[in-house]
């Protein structure tokens, strides 16, 4: 583990310890902290310096480190009550922040993650790619609005079909692409159809754009075309947001016989399909169907993909692919939002995707995700037989679990957190009231498969 990450862990542990002390109490000596946490003196010095900067502790040369006086309630607090009246527009869903349980306690096993654990990331390849990108003579020049030509060509080739580089707009990750697409396609106040359940970040982005999410039920084969047609007729919606491959949170893949039907239903309604293909590179080793856009002959599908999930959280590189006037809208929004995506990141993405190490990483990742999925599913079946796992996914990062009738997913998640396991409640994945209590369990954010088994054992004691 790196020195910096160890220092962050030590700061978190010391904050927890300081919370049990009173102002003026002396912290253990540096020598004691080195022995207790098995870290270096440099790590201890960095952690103490961080806490001093935050005003949590004070140091007295020759004496030691002491808990600082608590700030009095109300002291130096801005009077902001007037903002409640000024912020009358509730389009931005603040529940994503206000309902967050906060950082987990040390030792908590993370089953609520949406990214790969560091051990699954191609960190060496990423470092090499970024170093090569930084050495380019034009590394800090302005990038084209639509993205580097080489990167757009790579994205177009990965999708295949009739997609060409001119159809590609490079984005700062998938979430940025979602926000751009919602604002480009639908006007404020418009309905947008979504799978039920669906990705909470998409619901938040749609509402922030002034749109009204309308749920369309799914079954084991994906979104139901018959109910989708009814929803278009009833609402007059001109946009469907969907995840046909390795759906988040259920892990389902849209059945082959429904793929063209979904496109045809949307086209008949004069509507767009926003295909979120975030998990394209997260398959578990089996066959991954091609994107919907490869079967689209009318410009109905706007395609979104990202490198963030299969690579690393801070590789904020994605792509929107569209044909026709909607691409002009997307490019215009890019000029309003941020002009272009940082060139060094784009160059690094080109270096990474062009390297043989990328294909090796994807093969290794598929094997690791398959193993972790099987381990967690088996452990949950043994330790919590009352929790029902839906169809086991063949790709993605999560298991979708239905709780017994009458259970409360929020209470279960709170109890699990007290037992040292962080979970995602199912209610956040529904645009309206959930039909049953669910949990989403991530199997890619833990250190290894051993932690997944340990988490299931802890959940058995709820």
Contacts of 37 (CB under 8 A, 6+ apart): 10, 13
In the structure, what pLDDT confidence band is assigned to residue 1 with cuts at 50, 70 and 90? Answer: very low
More confident residue, 8 or 227: 227
Pick the CATH number of 3-67 from 2.40.50.140, 1.10.10.10, 1.25.40.340, 3.50.40.10: 1.10.10.10
pLDDT at 75: 54
Contacts of 372 (CB under 8 A, 6+ apart): 443, 444, 446, 449, 452
pLDDT at 4: 54
Q: Supply the CATH classification number for the domain 123-356.
A: 3.40.640.10
- Predicted confidence (pLDDT) at residue 35 exceeds the cutoff of 60: yes
pLDDT at 18: 87
What number of residues does the chain have?
462
- Please compute the mean of the pLDDT values over residues 187-215 and round it to a whole number: 94
Summarised one tens digit per residue, pLDDT across range 380-418 is 999 999 999 988 999 999 999 999 999 999 999 999 999
Summarised one tens digit per residue, pLDDT across range 346-367 is 999 999 999 999 999 999 999 9
Summarised one tens digit per residue, pLDDT across range 419-439 is 999 999 999 999 999 999 999
Fold of 95-121+359-460: 3.90.1150
**Considering the chain, what percentage of its residues have pLDDT values greater than 70?**
93
Sequence ranges of the domains in the chain = 3-67, 95-121+359-460, 123-356
Report pTM.
Answer: 0.81
Structure tokens at 364: 């290794």
Q: Are 391 and 398 in contact (CB under 8 A)?
A: no
- CA proximity to 295, closest of 257, 324, 329, 330: 257
Mean pLDDT of the chain: 91
Summarised one tens digit per residue, pLDDT across range 13-28 is 898 888 888 888 888 9
**Considering the chain, what percentage of its residues have pLDDT values greater than 90?**
73
Summarised one tens digit per residue, pLDDT across range 82-136 is 776 677 666 666 666 555 666 778 889 999 989 999 999 999 999 999 999 999 9
Q: How far is CA 2 from CA 36, 113, 129, 200, in A?
A: 19, 21, 20, 33
- Please compute the mean of the pLDDT values over residues 48-65 and round it to a whole number: 84
Angle at alpha carbon of residue 302, lines to 336 and 284, rounded to 5°: 115
pLDDT at 59: 84
- CA proximity to 193, closest of 178, 214, 218: 214
- Please compute the mean of the pLDDT values over residues 367-381 and round it to a whole number: 97
């Amino acid at each position: 583990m790196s020195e910096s990450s160890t220092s962050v862990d030590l700061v978190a542990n010391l904050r927890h310890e300081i919370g049990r002390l009173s102002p003026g109490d002396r912290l253990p000596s540096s020598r004691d902290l080195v022995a207790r946490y098995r870290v270096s003196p440099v790590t201890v010095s960095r952690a103490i310096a961080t806490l001093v900067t935050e005003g949590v502790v004070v140091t007295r040369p020759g004496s030691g480190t002491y808990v600082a006086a608590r700030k009095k309630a109300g002291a130096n607090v801005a009077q902001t009550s007037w903002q409640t009246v000024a912020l009358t527009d509730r389009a931005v869903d603040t529940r994503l922040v206000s309902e967050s349980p906060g950082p987990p306690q040390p030792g908590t096993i993370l089953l609520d993650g949406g990214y790969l654990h560091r051990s699954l990331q191609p960190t060496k390849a990423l470092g090499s790619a970024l170093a090569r990108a930084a050495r380019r003579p034009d590394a800090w020049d302005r990038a084209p609005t639509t993205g580097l030509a080489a990167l757009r060509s790579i994205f177009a080739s990965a999708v295949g079909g009739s997609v060409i580089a001119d159809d590609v707009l490079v984005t700062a990750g998938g979430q940025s692409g979602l926000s751009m697409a919602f604002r480009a396609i639908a006007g404020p106040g418009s309905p947008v159809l979504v799978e039920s359940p669906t990705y909470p970040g998409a619901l938040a982005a749609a509402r922030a754009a002034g749109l009204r999410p309308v749920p369309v039920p799914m079954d084991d084969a994906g979104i139901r075309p018959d109910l989708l047609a009814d929803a278009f007729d009833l609402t007059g919606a001109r946009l469907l947001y969907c995840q046909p491959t390795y759906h988040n949170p259920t892990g389902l893949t849209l059945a082959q016989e429904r793929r063209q039907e979904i496109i045809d239903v949307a086209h008949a309604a004069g509507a767009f399909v926003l295909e979120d293909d975030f998990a394209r590179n997260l398959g578990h080793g089996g066959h991954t169907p091609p994107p919907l856009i490869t079967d689209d002959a009318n410009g109905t599908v706007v395609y979104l993909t990202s490198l963030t999930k299969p690579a690393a959280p801070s590789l904020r590189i994605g792509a929107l692919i569209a044909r026709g006037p909607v691409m002009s809208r997307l490019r215009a929004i890019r000029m309003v939002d941020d002009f272009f995506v940082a060139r060094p990141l784009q160059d690094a993405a080109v270096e990474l995707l062009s390297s043989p190490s990328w294909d090796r990483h994807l093969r290794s990742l598929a094997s690791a995700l398959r193993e972790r999925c099987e381990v967690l599913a088996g452990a949950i079946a043994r330790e919590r037989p009352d929790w029902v796992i839906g169809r086991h996914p063949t790709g993605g990062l999560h298991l979708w679990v239905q709780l017994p009738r009458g259970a409360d997913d929020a209470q279960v998640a709170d109890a699990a957190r007290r037992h040292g396991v962080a979970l995602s409640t199912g209610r956040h994945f529904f645009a309206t009231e959930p039909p049953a209590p669910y949990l989403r369990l991530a199997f890619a954010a833990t250190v290894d498969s051993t932690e997944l088994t340990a988490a299931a054992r802890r959940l058995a004691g709820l």
